[in-house]
Structure 1
């Protein structure tokens, strides 16, 4: 994953997510990123900053916070004009569902290193908006003026859209998330969600729902439910897999409807969620679709990626005013039809190279792709094959072809011979360099011990954008003798010694053996971000 300019958008969570900021910025700088910082100051601020960063043509947008912060970044990117940047994540929230899905470490510094060792993958994004709202007696509009008025209101509602990367929900989960105290959540985490659930549960009851095919409006299912989950991914909250067959690149949204039932079926559902981490099939209905419509009462709450969405945001001023005048019982007779669309391959995201691709239906094989390109370039076209196949016995063209093949074979042999000679020369130079190092080794080691910087290693990772390059995060000693958060860049140009003073020529093996807590000595130029470009390094 390569680029130049990054925007680092932070939900500070009362200062909790700023403590490791110097460490993270050092890692990003070591990875070659010039990073601008944006702090959330009010609701919706992250989305505004993400939109601005996209329109400023930033290469990478990093969300530092929870799934709600990530959702704000996604919505900012999707609502902006121009090319969409890569979206990455450093988890700093309560549930951190996306981080758990793709294997991003919870520690922010290790997450930053993982970001450097990631590939760019394009994923689907869900989009939800209100298609229509039907008040009692207006399901079948009468009169041209009324129909025109309803159409205008629907068009106004459709202008407001919310995007989601993970999931959306209708019912209990949205009601709970809408009543969670954020200050309390920052203090006690998921326990705050549990308290809100305990308060909301007695107020919840089954509600009528109809699911339709978005393309034709055909009814797929109609009944009563207690919860609807729309999954672009699989995990729900911290563990449960409400949509266990979902893929993030299949162009479809998976729908799980937990149907209303008796106390026994409810107990079965809870047991299944706790033990099997997915709903019980006997009391759940599943659907898939690229375009869906879901019709529910106006009193049913909606959430996207764990953040509650107000129905007011979707409605025209006239419709919202009309709805507000009704009591709760009357509002339950008002039906809202949500449109849920899948935007396929719409968002480039950073996916760790160590990820097992569980969420991807289509695997990622850059080597295979390169091999296909190489083969396509070297292989003759179908026309050439046809011509040679038909006329090779009857024209002189085949003689020229054979001669050309022979010449090519000779050229290949000459190239290989030349390559072997070059390799021998490189080996000779390397041996001479090692001998020279051996002669100078006492002086080099003494210089390193006197002038080198000690670095207490916290973690390390390859930089996927640059071959044979690693970034080490840790506490880097300054000229004053004090240590501060920083990073070290080690690459093929770095001369590596072990603690005995022996020259080490295998960079990858040396980095693999480097463990957390080890202390290395480095020599090289140090930047303002406390990043050292290691010219020499002594391993423990």
Structure 2
């Protein structure tokens, strides 16, 4: 197998590159040919993934956080090159959905385990979401969480090392003053109106690496799970969070859940849109699913029931 390992040096501990060389050695002992490529600026990971696909690489491995993985995805959609991941960033939401442990200085062998998972995995095709010209692997958010992302990104390296803590602090500050917006949300043509705090469009089951919000989602069914969280201000935000924690949110009349192919959303005033933790747009916005457009390496220990089709 020919592979390109795309590494973002601003993600993870400073000495991760040394362990990535060990990963390359592990892959090469398994018969792989691996090129290690390092990003220098935003957009590099996408360009490196595109060139890997053009050169006929079987796998493009993203070694970084959610932003790096998203860039690699955007370089691979519609190609025959599969996405592989080595979780070395601070977010790693896709890796968490796969059940992969994040690399740490205390346990660098997690990278070695992830590398072996690549060599033992199978190639599957999965859906991606799309906003304008940008694809997303995990989810898109419109409203509250996108406002938090807009406040946080781009982060400096020292901030990234603090993990989720800066996001939590920013979320509390933003949520305290966020009152929602008047919105019209078209879900495959069926319209939901009201004052909206957040519209979550999910391709996977987990949200934020903590909550399993889209519990029945499959990543190859040609559908996106959409959750419209209604309400006015901070008390409703707290209520929604508590109901998500207690798994009672689907019985809340202030929450609309649908599985759809297309979402059109208008708001007054306009609000930010984020995909996979990066800001991309503002409302009005259209999101759609692109069925089975991305090939992925599925490690042997990853959840099998995320696929509707038999494995």
Same fold (TM over 0.5): yes
For residues 255 and 222 of structure 1, the distance between their equivalents in structure 2, rounded to whole angstroms, comes to: 14
Change (3 A) 1:76 1:356: closer
Equivalent residue number for residue 257 of structure 1: 228
Equivalent residue number for residue 62 of structure 1: 61
1:387-432 Cα distance to aligned partner (Å, 9 max, x none): xxxxxxxxxxxxxxxxxxxxxxxxxxxxxxxxxxxxxxxxxxxxxx
Of 181, 192, 209, which aligns to 2:166?
192
For residues 146 and 101 of structure 2, the distance between their equivalents in structure 1, rounded to whole angstroms, comes to: 27
1:444-473 Cα distance to aligned partner (Å, 9 max, x none): xxxxxxxxxxxxxxxxxxxxxxxxxxxxxx
Q: Is the 8 A contact 1:261 1:283 kept in 2?
A: no
Q: Is the 8 A contact 1:44 1:72 kept in 2?
A: yes
Q: Is the 8 A contact 2:178 2:233 kept in 1?
A: no
- Measured after TM superposition, the shift of residue 190 of structure 1 is 0.6
Q: Is the 8 A contact 2:179 2:197 kept in 1?
A: yes
Change (3 A) 1:68 1:349: same
For residues 117 and 18 of structure 1, the distance between their equivalents in structure 2, rounded to whole angstroms, comes to: 23
RMSD, matched Cα = 2.1
Change (3 A) 1:279 1:213: closer
Matched, 1:237 2:211: no
User: Which of structures 1 and 2 has the larger relative contact order (alpha carbons within 8 angstroms, sep 6+)?
Assistant: 2
Of 242, 259, 283, which aligns to 1:271?
242
1:73-125 Cα distance to aligned partner (Å, 9 max, x none): 001112x7xx4301110111122111111222332111111111111111001
For residues 277 and 302 of structure 1, the distance between their equivalents in structure 2, rounded to whole angstroms, comes to: 26
Q: Is the 8 A contact 2:175 2:237 kept in 1?
A: no
Of 291, 302, 308, which aligns to 1:355?
302
Q: Is the 8 A contact 1:208 1:223 kept in 2?
A: yes
* TM-score (normalised: structure 1): 0.53
Of 323, 344, 349, which aligns to 2:291?
344
Equivalent residue number for residue 172 of structure 1: 144
Equivalent residue number for residue 95 of structure 2: 99
Matched, 1:205 2:179: yes
- Measured after TM superposition, the shift of residue 16 of structure 1 is 4.6
> In proportion to residue count, which structure has more strand?
2
Q: Which runs of 5+ in 2 are unaligned?
A: 103-109
Equivalent residue number for residue 445 of structure 1: none
Q: Is the 8 A contact 1:104 1:114 kept in 2?
A: no
Equivalent residue number for residue 106 of structure 2: none
Matched, 1:118 2:115: no
SS in 1 for 2:161: helix
Q: How many positions carry a matched residue from both structures?
A: 300
* TM-score (normalised: structure 2): 0.89
1:495-526 Cα distance to aligned partner (Å, 9 max, x none): xxxxxxxxxxxxxxxxxxxxxxxxxxxxxxxx
Of 62, 83, 90, which aligns to 2:86?
90
Matched, 1:12 2:9: yes
Equivalent residue number for residue 228 of structure 1: 199
For residues 259 and 18 of structure 2, the distance between their equivalents in structure 1, rounded to whole angstroms, comes to: 43
Q: Is the 8 A contact 2:199 2:229 kept in 1?
A: yes
Q: Is the 8 A contact 2:176 2:233 kept in 1?
A: no
